[in-house]
Amino acid sequence: MNILSLLPLRVHYFFADWLIYPLMYYVVRYRRETVDKNLRLAFPEKSDAERREIARGFYHQFCNTIVEAVYGYRMTDGEMRERVVFEGMEEVNRLVDEAGGGIFMLAHFGNWEWMASIQQWVSPGVTEMNIYRKLKSPTMDKLMLAIRAKRGGVCVEKQRVLREMVRYRAEKKPVTVGLLSDQKPRPEVTRRRVPFLNRETGFLDGGEVLGKKFGYPVFYLYITREKRGYYRVVMKTLAASPKETVEGAITASYARILEQNIREQPALWLWTHNRWKFES
């Protein structure tokens, strides 16, 4: 990792364009059937040619994300702040400071691995807790943890999140919690089904549940790729006072704004995920 990350980003992009992308798209055809199915379901109004263009753009972005994650391991905080700019953090920090914590809901969109750099933008003394699911491969799990923790946040397995949040509150330590909330929940644990990309879709509602339980404001990270390797993140408030919202409202708002984000730059979402496996 250390050796690879020392290579200039242009070299990483060379590998992405001329080695990883051709292997993934043409040779291995990595989850091509799943991507094609998802795009047909999400964009029935588009032509086959338009959907193929989105698919190719997605695979290019997926390769970018892989090499950017490796390169990001050695980036200075200054360069990371130039490449990932968070807007609206003044209001976020005000609400987080008042409540003693916050919930950041994001998606597998753009370069989600770089979003852990939000730790550099929150108020001093606030810990950014990133929820993750342990990978089967110990090597890959260790690599992912090293990349995500590089900016000073802490990674916590989802089974331990509630306990850790209770501990932080008991110790009067402010904390923000980042959740990737766009993956499909298993049918037996699906509690929220909302309209999303032309289909009734089950959603994880952990962000809403935690926000209501602790009274922490909930935000969505609206990601835009400005150009290759540069992202702008606009912080959208889903609920400033979660306990005052009706059940399911925060999750529904998340789904709506995620769909808007996807329609704006469709190639940036993770289309290889079999998102509608249980809805098909």
**If residue 132 lies in a helix (H) or strand (E), which one and from where to where?**
strand 127-132
Determine the 3-state secondary structure of 138 from DSSP. helix
Determine the 3-state secondary structure of 260 from DSSP. helix
Domain boundaries, the chain: 2-72, 81-265
Phi, psi at residue 131, to the nearest 5°? -80, 135
CA distance 208 to 103: 9
In the predicted structure, residue 1 carries a pLDDT above the cut 60: no
pLDDT grade, residue 279 (50/70/90)? confident
Mean pLDDT of 14-40: 97
Q: Which residue is listed with tokens 């968070």?
A: 86
pTM of the model: 0.93
Cβ 275 vs Cβ 184: under 8 Å: yes
**Mean pLDDT value across the chain:** 92
Cβ 68 vs Cβ 12: under 8 Å: yes
Q: What was the pLDDT predicted at 73? A: 84
**If residue 59 lies in a helix (H) or strand (E), which one and from where to where?**
helix 48-72
Is the Cα dihedral 146, 270, 76, 132 positive or negative?
negative
CA distance 71 to 87: 24
In the predicted structure, residue 201 carries a pLDDT above the cut 90: yes
The token pair that represents 115 in the structure block: 């979003």
The token pair that represents 30 in the structure block: 């990595």
- Closest C-alpha among 223, 271, 219, 277 to residue 250: 219
Angle CA(152)–CA(128)–CA(74) in degrees, nearest 5? Answer: 30
Tens-place pLDDT, residues 227-249 = 999 999 999 999 999 999 999 99
Pairing of strands 192-196, 199-203: antiparallel
pLDDT grade, residue 266 (50/70/90)? very high
In the predicted structure, residue 146 carries a pLDDT above the cut 90: no
Mean pLDDT of 47-56: 98
CA distance 115 to 113: 5
Question: Looking only at Cα atoms, what is the longest distance across the chain?
Answer: 56
**Residue of higher predicted confidence among 106 and 153:** 106
Mean pLDDT of 205-209: 95
Pairing of strands 199-203, 218-227: unpaired
Beta-carbon neighbour count of residue 171 at 10 Å? 8
